[in-house]
């Protein structure tokens, strides 16, 4: 066999599926895994009969690749990426390309890119979304690095990516850590949508008294609409319909109510706070996961802190798609995407990423976890106005907000009276109400800051910085 077109390091769930994807698309491959037994197992199993060879050492791996080498690392994010780079970089030659396809922190990617580019290697930090199935069949990919490095992998990634009607779900994102930053924000949006659907489930169960199948029917209907048709709504329907084989009841009711996280949601929120971009819907989703993990504390508190009297309120009828609840979920999803896009805009300015927001909408339309029909509208909105300050100001999205705000208000008010937490829905309502308010009460905050700390304030009637001796 001649030299392989493509090399993969890390035969975890993602790596295994990505190399099968590359091979299926005509790229002969060589694989390396720290634990060689996993390589042997893969080659004897899913890799058997494919144009894929295994390497027991990194020396063998590097020697088996055509030049310039194109190497994708799919190892655990953090120290394992640095360890892998440290082991392989002495073996690389000028022009070779390393791609980190894991969920790395974008500032780590900036650092690694600077180090490797100074040695004349190409370095790409590439977000990959789609889970195991997406990795195999076609994920959405967000590669960042130099344009020259992207050009060297373009033929590979455009074939491997999911394909939608207007092209592959991959594009050059921008320099340095741009690709990993966009993937981080993608995951933050994902946190938001997952929590929104969990809140809808809780209300349908506790207020409307629906069982799993009835809720799944509602979700199935939502998945037919332009505003909510999406992968996450589709899998929520499946989760709600699935029965436990032992008891025959809804499986979801047997699952412990404590959600995990691996860091990307946290990084989204931390970056947003650092950059001064409000992302309350995404923040609420992260907080909800953190609070859910205090399970034993919550169970103890249930006996001490009383719930209000049962209180019912209209969510809409299941047969007609729970109209108020659907409106609330639509606006909260729009808010998640909008807050994520606003964060990308700020990061683009701050780091000179020169992001193309319309193109980001396009590559999220297929393959990834947040793929949704709504992304066509997002692509169009930023295509029409690349510097749109907020998605809600696009005419189509503004009409959605104006049409559906009453439903969101009704659901949040009802949930508050019933004592049912809806952190993403209520944060969205606050976000929209704050964003559409020309005069907020922060004039009083400024007065207090000047009163206790002489921080000064600006006046509405003339320019300048003013101080008052409030306590004199």
Return the residue of 28, 103, 271, 427 that touches ligand NAP, per CB under 6 A: 103
Consecutive H or E run containing 38? helix 36-44
Question: C-beta of 133: minimal distance to ligand NAP in Å?
Answer: 9
Q: Which stretch binds ligand NAP (CB under 6 A): 8-16, 19-27, 151-159, 251-259?
A: 8-16
In angstroms, the CA 449 to CA 192 distance is 33
Task: Answer yes or no whether residue 33 interacts with ligand NAP by CB under 6 A.
Answer: yes
Cα 141–chain centre separation: 12
Question: C-beta of 468: minimal distance to ligand NAP in Å?
Answer: 53
Task: Answer yes or no whether residue 393 interacts with ligand NAP by CB under 6 A.
Answer: no
For residue 183, indicate whether it is catalytic: yes
Q: Which is nearer to ligand NAP, 29 or 426 (CB)?
A: 29
Question: C-beta of 17: minimal distance to ligand NAP in Å?
Answer: 8
Q: Which is nearer to ligand NAP, 170 or 401 (CB)?
A: 170
Question: C-beta of 330: minimal distance to ligand NAP in Å?
Answer: 27
Q: Which is nearer to ligand NAP, 170 or 335 (CB)?
A: 170
Return the residue of 128, 378, 391, 429 that touches ligand NAP, per CB under 6 A: 128
Q: Which among 190, 194, 199, 237 is annotated as catalytic?
A: 190
In angstroms, the CA 425 to CA 415 distance is 10
For residue 59, indicate whether it is catalytic: no
In angstroms, the CA 438 to CA 443 distance is 12
Q: Which two tokens stand for residue 323?
A: 């109209």
Looking at the DSSP bridge assignments, the partners of residue 197 are none
DSSP 365-378: SSSSTT-BTHHHHH
Task: Answer yes or no whether residue 74 interacts with ligand NAP by CB under 6 A.
Answer: yes
Provide the terminal-to-terminal Cα distance of the chain, rounded to the nearest Å: 88
**How many residues would you count in the chain?**
472
Task: Answer yes or no whether residue 10 interacts with ligand NAP by CB under 6 A.
Answer: yes
In angstroms, the CA 186 to CA 227 distance is 18
Question: C-beta of 9: minimal distance to ligand NAP in Å?
Answer: 7
Long-range contacts of 246-253 (CB under 8 A, 24+ apart): 250/211, 250/212, 252/201, 252/212, 253/212
DSSP 51-88: SEEE-SSHHHHHHTB-SS-EEEE---SSHHHHHHHHHH
Return the residue of 24, 25, 34, 449 that touches ligand NAP, per CB under 6 A: 34
Locus of tokens 């992968």: 231
In angstroms, the CA 458 to CA 446 distance is 9
Task: Answer yes or no whether residue 324 interacts with ligand NAP by CB under 6 A.
Answer: no
Task: Answer yes or no whether residue 268 interacts with ligand NAP by CB under 6 A.
Answer: no
Cα 408–chain centre separation: 23
Total chain residues near ligand NAP (CB under 6 A): 22
Locus of tokens 């590097």: 62
Looking at the DSSP bridge assignments, the partners of residue 73 are 9, 100
Task: Answer yes or no whether residue 13 interacts with ligand NAP by CB under 6 A.
Answer: yes
Interface positions, 38-67, toward ligand NAP (CB under 6 A): 38
Task: Answer yes or no whether residue 76 interacts with ligand NAP by CB under 6 A.
Answer: yes
Q: Which is nearer to ligand NAP, 76 or 111 (CB)?
A: 76
Question: C-beta of 298: minimal distance to ligand NAP in Å?
Answer: 28
**Residue positions annotated with a catalytic role:** 183, 190
Interacting residue ranges for ligand NAP, rule: CB under 6 A: 10-15, 33-35, 38, 74-77, 80, 83-84, 102-103, 128-129, 131
């Amino acid at each position: 066999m001649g030299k392989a077109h493509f090399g993969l390091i890390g035969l975890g769930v993602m790596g295994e599926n990505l190399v099968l994807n590359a091979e299926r698309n005509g790229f002969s491959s060589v694989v390396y895994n720290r634990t060689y037994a996993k390589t042997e197992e893969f080659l004897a199993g899913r890799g058997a009969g494919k144009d894929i060879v295994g390497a027991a050492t990194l020396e063998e791996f590097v020697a088996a690749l055509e030049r310039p080498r194109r190497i994708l690392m799919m190892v655990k994010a953090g120290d394992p990426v640095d360890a892998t780079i440290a082991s392989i970089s002495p073996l690389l030659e000028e022009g070779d390309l390393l791609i980190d396809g894991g969920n790395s922190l974008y500032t780590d990617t900036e650092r690694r890119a600077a180090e490797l580019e100074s040695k004349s290697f190409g370095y790409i930090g590439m977000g990959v979304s789609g889970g195991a199935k997406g990795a195999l069949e076609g994920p959405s990919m967000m590669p960042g690095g130099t344009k020259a490095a992207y050009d060297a992998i373009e033929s590979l990634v455009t074939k491997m990516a999911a394909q939608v009607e207007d092209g592959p779900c991959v594009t050059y994102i921008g320099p340095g850590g741009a690709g990993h930053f966009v993937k981080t924000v993608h995951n933050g949006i994902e946190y938001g949508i997952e929590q929104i659907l969990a809140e809808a489930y809780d209300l349908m169960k506790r207020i409307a008294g629906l069982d799993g199948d009835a809720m799944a029917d509602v979700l199935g209907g939502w998945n037919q609409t332009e505003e909510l048709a999406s992968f996450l709504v589709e899998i929520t329907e499946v989760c709600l319909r699935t029965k436990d084989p032992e008891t025959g009841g809804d499986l979801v009711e047997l699952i412990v109510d404590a959600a995990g996280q691996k860091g990307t949601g946290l990084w989204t929120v931390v970056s947003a706070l650092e950059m001064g971009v409000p992302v309350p819907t995404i923040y609420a989703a992260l907080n909800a996961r953190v609070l859910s993990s205090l399970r034993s504390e919550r169970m103890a508190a249930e006996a001490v802190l009383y719930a209000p009297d049962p209180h019912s309120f209209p969510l809409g009828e299941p047969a007609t798609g729970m109209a108020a609840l659907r409106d609330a979920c639509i606006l909260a999803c729009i808010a998640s995407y909008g807050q994520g896009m606003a964060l990308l805009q700020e990061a683009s300015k701050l780091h000179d990423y020169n992001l193309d927001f319309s193109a980001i909408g396009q590559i999220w339309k297929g393959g990834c976890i947040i793929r949704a029909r709504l992304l066509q509208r997002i692509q169009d909105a930023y295509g029409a106005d690349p510097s749109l300050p907020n998605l809600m100001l696009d005419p189509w999205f503004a009409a959605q907000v104006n049409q559906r705000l009453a439903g969101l208000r009704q659901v949040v008010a009802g949930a508050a009276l019933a004592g049912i937490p809806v952190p993403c829905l209520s944060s969205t309502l606050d976000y929209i109400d704050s964003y559409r308010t020309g005069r907020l009460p922060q004039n009083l905050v400024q007065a207090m800051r000047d009163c206790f700390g002489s921080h000064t304030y600006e006046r509405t009637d003339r320019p300048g910085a003013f101080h008052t001796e409030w306590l004199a």
